[in-house]
């Protein structure tokens, strides 16, 4: 049984979530998005959700030990036995180090890493027009697919299209700053490990998907 772990790196708003969903379908392994898990906790009003909400709204990162535990539990679920597409995790060097240990413990291979790269001005522009369905998580962009947004039939029944609280302009700038400070060092971490592939995130969703497939282990594509 082939096992595979892919980390999608990239600043906020580069299309990681959309590409992670497609890759998960393609490779038949789950997408694990720590942002989605935290938002579900917020909606459910759990203790973790309450703690995370304040931090997320400020554009900061939840503490490493908290998020590592979230990922550990998620990777132990049966659907992740062949691996996963990690989207939004790791985001700091200590998280990456913890992930290396965790993958060894649960007998999953060392991760491949694809970094999706988009210039900062383009990111701010994209995020200000990003909308999501709060019920099912589908992502839209006012500029590109307003029609899809109008026709959206939510698989969970009740479409609820909103702007994420943390997509407001001041929080976006803070999130980009946190990305530069805390997450950029991961590029070097994985480059040194020989695991890093970099692709441009400019162009259509299909074009970026094709680039990622080429950048990944060719046996899988």
* Catalytic residue of the set 39, 164, 182, 211: 164
Q: Which is nearer to ligand AMP, 91 or 131 (CB)?
A: 91
55 binds ligand AMP (CB under 6 A): yes
- Give CA–CA dist 107/140, Å, rounded: 36
In the complex, the smallest distance separating the C-beta of residue 217 from ligand AMP, rounded to whole angstroms, is: 24
123 binds ligand AMP (CB under 6 A): no
Q: Residue 126 belongs to what H/E stretch?
A: helix 120-128
Residue closest to ligand AMP (Cβ): 35
61 binds ligand AMP (CB under 6 A): yes
* Catalytic residue of the set 39, 74, 91, 182: 91
DSSP string, 155-207: TTS---EE--GGGSHHHHHHHHHHIIIIITHHHHHHHHTT-EEEEE--S-HHH
Task: For residue 131, indicate whether it is catalytic.
Answer: no
Total count of residues recorded for the chain = 221
Task: For residue 168, indicate whether it is catalytic.
Answer: no
- Give CA–CA dist 219/109, Å, rounded: 15
Catalytic residues: 16, 91, 130, 164, 175
Residues that bind ligand AMP (CB under 6 A): 12, 34-35, 38, 55-56, 59-62, 67, 88-91, 95, 166, 175
């Amino acid at each position: 049984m082939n096992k595979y772990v892919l980390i999608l790196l990239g600043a906020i708003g580069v299309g990681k979530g959309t590409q992670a969903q497609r890759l998960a379908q393609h490779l038949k392994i789950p997408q694990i998005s720590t942002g989605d898990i935290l938002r579900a906790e917020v909606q459910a009003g759990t203790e973790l959700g309450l703690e995370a909400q304040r931090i997320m709204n400020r554009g900061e990162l939840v503490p490493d030990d908290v998020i590592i535990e979230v990922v550990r539990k998620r990777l132990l679920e049966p659907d992740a036995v062949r691996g996963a597409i990690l989207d939004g995790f790791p985001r700091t060097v200590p998280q990456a180090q913890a992930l290396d240990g965790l993958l060894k413990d649960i007998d999953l291979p060392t991760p491949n890493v694809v970094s999706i790269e988009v210039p900062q001005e383009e990111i701010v522009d994209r995020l200000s027009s990003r909308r999501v369905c709060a019920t099912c998580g589908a992502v839209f962009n006012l500029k590109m697919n307003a029609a899809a947004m109008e026709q959206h039939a939510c698989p969970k029944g009740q479409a609820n299209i909103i702007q994420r609280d943390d997509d407001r302009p001041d929080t976006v700038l803070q999130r980009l700053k946190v990305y530069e400070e805390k997450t950029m060092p991961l590029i070097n971490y994985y480059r040194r490990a020989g695991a890093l592939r970099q692709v441009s995130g400019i162009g259509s969703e299909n074009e970026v998907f094709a680039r990622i497939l080429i950048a990944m282990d060719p046996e899988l594509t």
